[in-house]
Amino acid sequence: MRTEAIVESFEASLREAFQQLQGGANAIPWWERKSLAQGMTESFVVGTASETAFLLVALLAKDPKWEVRAAIADLLPVLPEAESKRLTDQLMADSNTYVRRSVERAIERRKREIRAAGKARKSADQVSAQLQAIEDEFGKTAATKSLRMAERYSEMLVASIVHDLRSIMTHLKVNCYSLIEEVIADAGSQAKRYGVRVRNDLQLLESSVEDMVTFTRPVPTERLPERLAVLVAEALELTRDNVRKAKFDPELVSVQQDVPESIVVPLARHQIVIALANVLKNAYEAFQAKGTMRPGAIRIAASTCQKWVTLTIEDTGQGICDEELRTPLLLTPGRRNKSKRQSTGYGLPIAARNVAAHGGLLRLESRENEGTTVTILLPRESQ
């Protein structure tokens, strides 16, 4: 059975269970209700949980069996913050000691994740502060050169690690994929879901390794005159194909293009197409939540001014919170968005790197619940 069929089957089982439970909890045996709660973990981890999953969580949090309520408590660390807080308050007032203990463990897990994120943010702050100190003492040029040296050193380290990972992945894929296919073909529904999860994780690992390769590979120095409108169209079509592969309808998002055919820029074609596709991918994902895509709009516009070409990609999606936007080294790899199933954390960093290699600049502005604008500046002459 294909992965898509298994996912659709699981979603259908959630809808059926929710309908049955409308007639009362006893419509389904309590151990099956508990299994149902436990089986929804992955969809919340990767951000594909549907509206039905959220409704079921709210329903099962009031289940008459404490074992089921405890299973919902175990989900608290992977639920969206608002939903997690609401259920935490509800379940902490539960009459059963085991349920309250499950909530306490869940709270501690979330605290550990927050502490880990805080340490990473502190390290980024320290690097940013050191670069600012270099700039204050020796000037902006020295700070820029220091950053480039640090980036090049990190790229060398990553390239060495990637070489070893690729060798491991080659053998791992052959053996694991064969084993997983056997499990999916012959095992029960629960084992099939586990098999699909393992396969998805392997695919994510492979994507991460390939993105590391892309990020560390030197950008070609040859520049050829390219029509920017043609590159934008190519990147847009590539992005739409990927949206379809993710089982979403790209037609729900209207795209307005205002890129004059007359704008020609000296570029390494493939690298800029990849950069634009990564930015557009993020724009489309801004309309995805709870396993569905909502309608929205993307506007792509370009203009020229003296020595520069300005390209803006603006969406009306969910936007980025101020805290996330202010994070130092926002465009540095390693900031994987766990709410996106196939996020590797390299999309925007690759885009920014490819643009910078052309002597350009990528800027990001955003307001939560309003949208995001990415501005790309490219020189009209080769750098």
Helices 269-285 and 228-245, packing angle to 10 deg:
50
d(CA 192, CA 197): 9
List the chain domain ranges. Answer: 3-105, 139-216, 225-379
CB 241 within 8 A of CB 280: no
Whether this model's pTM surpasses 0.85? no
pLDDT tens-digit profile, the chain (383 residues): 444 555 566 778 888 888 999 888 889 999 989 988 888 877 776 566 778 889 999 999 999 999 999 999 998 988 888 888 999 999 999 999 999 999 999 889 888 877 776 776 677 678 778 888 888 889 888 887 887 788 777 777 777 777 777 777 777 777 777 777 776 666 666 666 667 777 777 777 777 777 777 777 777 778 899 999 999 999 999 999 988 887 889 999 999 999 999 999 999 898 999 999 999 998 998 898 777 889 999 999 999 988 899 999 999 998 887 766 665 556 666 555 545 555 666 788 888 888 988 888 898 888 888 899 999 999 988 65
Our CA dihedral for 94, 98, 99, 102, rounded to 10 degrees, sits at 140
Q: What is the CA radius of gyration of the chain?
A: 24
The CATH-assigned architecture of domain 225-379 is: 2-Layer Sandwich (3.30)
